């Protein structure tokens, strides 16, 4: 094992997809070819990573650990993680939200915590707590960047090292839930979080998707990953399940044959007020993604995993995420908040 890979740590100069210096395939796997540490790793004595003991001790105060996964990016996974955490905290649970999307950390913005720094105490790194709810603490690489636009260009070993540090060195205290927001797909970050938390137990994973087949293809792979590494799939959430918007929030337009567009919102709403005022209290619904083949619900039936429910695409929920606040105290988010509450109640029922 190389000198910069002490205590089983993956050296920073290791190849991508390094199996780890304590692995039986260290220095022998295809991923090790050409690595500067290859010979040392191949001949070094193997043994358990001593940090796993420290991690198990740290996680002993956490009752439930839930991973939030997605097959693709852009399906609203982090929005779901943020609102799930808000809801659990508002239900008087002590909640930690760990953002391990190292290259795309959006959680600080979605919880209104941009610009905050990590502080250290004699117990370890302290999570950043949401001002409106002290039950909810957050940890993310987003708090460590000198500027929110700063790109994180790290290879697998360095990302994995930071994830281990988050698990080992952050002092969460007593938690009812640790929600882990993972990047899309099944990559090094997913393997690392499973490896680091497996000894203390992972209660399961929630997978977020959109209804169309292009997204569901990758969700099937996500379910396969969970089964291979021994993680229970708590259920699948179909997000952006049609657009549902109050009629008064719609904009109306006329498009000419040449393609020019004219806003006629005021005219249309005045006409509705005059001719059909009962429509003013209705919602307009439209299918954004093709769900003609049954969407996530049918896929769950085929794959034998629970279907937790559908959350419509709601511009008010998007606005709440942009502004870093909970959607549950906002009457304008009634459509999405009601759907999310139904899903979250199913998770709480598993306690």
Q: Two tokens at 250?
A: 């719609």
Query: Residue 170, annotated ligand binder?
Result: no
pLDDT at 4 over 60: no
- E strand segments, the chain: 62-70, 95-99, 119-121, 124-126, 128-130, 133-140, 175-181, 204-209, 233-246, 253-255, 261-263, 283-286, 307-313
Tell which residue, 55, 32, 27, 58, has the closest CA to residue 43: 27
Is 30 or 46 the better-scoring residue by pLDDT?
A: 30
- Worst-scoring range by mean pLDDT, 4-8, 20-24, 210-214, 295-299? 4-8
What is the Cα Rg of the chain in Å? 23
Query: Residue 76, annotated ligand binder?
Result: yes
Distance CA 343, CA 135 (A): 20
Query: Residue 41, annotated ligand binder?
Result: yes
Query: Residue 74, annotated ligand binder?
Result: yes
Tell which residue, 101, 57, 58, has the closest CA to residue 79: 101
Asked if 189 and 76 touch (Cβ cutoff 8 Å), the reply is no
* DSSP reduced 3-state for 124: strand
Q: Two tokens at 347?
A: 């998770």
pLDDT at 297 over 90: yes
Query: Residue 173, annotated ligand binder?
Result: no
* Average pLDDT over every residue of 219-236: 96
pLDDT at 308 over 80: yes
Where does the pLDDT of residue 28 fall: very low under 50, low under 70, confident under 90, or very high at 90 and above? confident
CA-to-CA separations, 273 to 251, 277, 283, 332, in angstroms, rounded: 15, 4, 15, 21
* Average pLDDT over every residue of 313-320: 92
Where does the pLDDT of residue 131 fall: very low under 50, low under 70, confident under 90, or very high at 90 and above? confident
Q: Are strands 95-99 and 133-140 parallel, antiparallel or unpaired?
A: parallel
Q: What are phi and psi of 45, to 5 degrees?
A: -65, 145
Query: Residue 71, annotated ligand binder?
Result: yes
Query: Residue 235, annotated ligand binder?
Result: no
Query: Residue 124, annotated ligand binder?
Result: no
Q: What are phi and psi of 241, to 5 degrees?
A: -85, 75
- Is the sign of the CA dihedral 102, 69, 57, 108 positive or negative? positive
Query: Residue 78, annotated ligand binder?
Result: yes
Query: Residue 230, annotated ligand binder?
Result: no
């Amino acid at each position: 094992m190389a000198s910069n890979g002490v205590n089983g740590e993956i050296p920073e100069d290791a190849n991508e997809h390094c199996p780890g210096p304590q692995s039986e395939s260290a220095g022998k796997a295809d991923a090790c070819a050409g690595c500067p540490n290859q010979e040392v790793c191949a001949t070094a004595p193997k043994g358990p990573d001593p940090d796993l003991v420290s991690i198990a001790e740290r996680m002993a105060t956490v009752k439930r650990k839930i991973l939030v996964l997605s097959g693709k990016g852009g399906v609203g996974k982090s929005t779901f993680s943020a609102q799930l955490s808000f809801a659990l905290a508002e239900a008087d649970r002590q909640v930690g939200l760990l953002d391990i999307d190292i290259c795309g950390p959006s959680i600080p913005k979605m919880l209104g915590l941009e610009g905050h720094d990590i502080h250290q105490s004699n117990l370890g790194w302290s999570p950043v707590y949401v001002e409106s709810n002290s039950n909810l603490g957050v940890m993310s690489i987003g708090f460590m960047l000198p500027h929110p636009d700063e790109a994180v260009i790290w290879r697998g070993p360095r990302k994995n090292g930071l994830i281990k540090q988050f698990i080992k060195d952050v002092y969460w205290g007593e938690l009812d839930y640790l929600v882990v927001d993972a990047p899309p797909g099944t990559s090094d970050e997913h393997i690392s979080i499973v490896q680091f938390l497996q000894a203390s137990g992972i209660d399961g994973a929630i997978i977020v998707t959109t209804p169309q087949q292009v997204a569901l293809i990758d969700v099937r792979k996500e379910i396969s990953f969970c089964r291979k590494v021994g993680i229970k799939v708590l259920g699948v959430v179909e997000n952006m399940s049609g657009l549902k918007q109050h009629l008064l929030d719609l904009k109306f337009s006329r498009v000419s044959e040449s393609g020019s567009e004219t806003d006629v919102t005021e005219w249309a709403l005045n006409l509705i007020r005059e001719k059909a005022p009962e429509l003013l209290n209705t919602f307009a619904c439209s299918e954004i993604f093709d769900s003609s083949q049954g969407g996530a619900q049918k896929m769950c039936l085929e794959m034998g995993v629970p279907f937790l429910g559908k959350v419509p695409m709601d511009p008010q929920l998007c606005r709440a995420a942009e502004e870093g606040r909970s959607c549950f105290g906002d009457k304008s988010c009634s459509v999405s908040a009601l759907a999310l509450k139904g899903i979250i109640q199913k998770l709480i029922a598993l306690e």
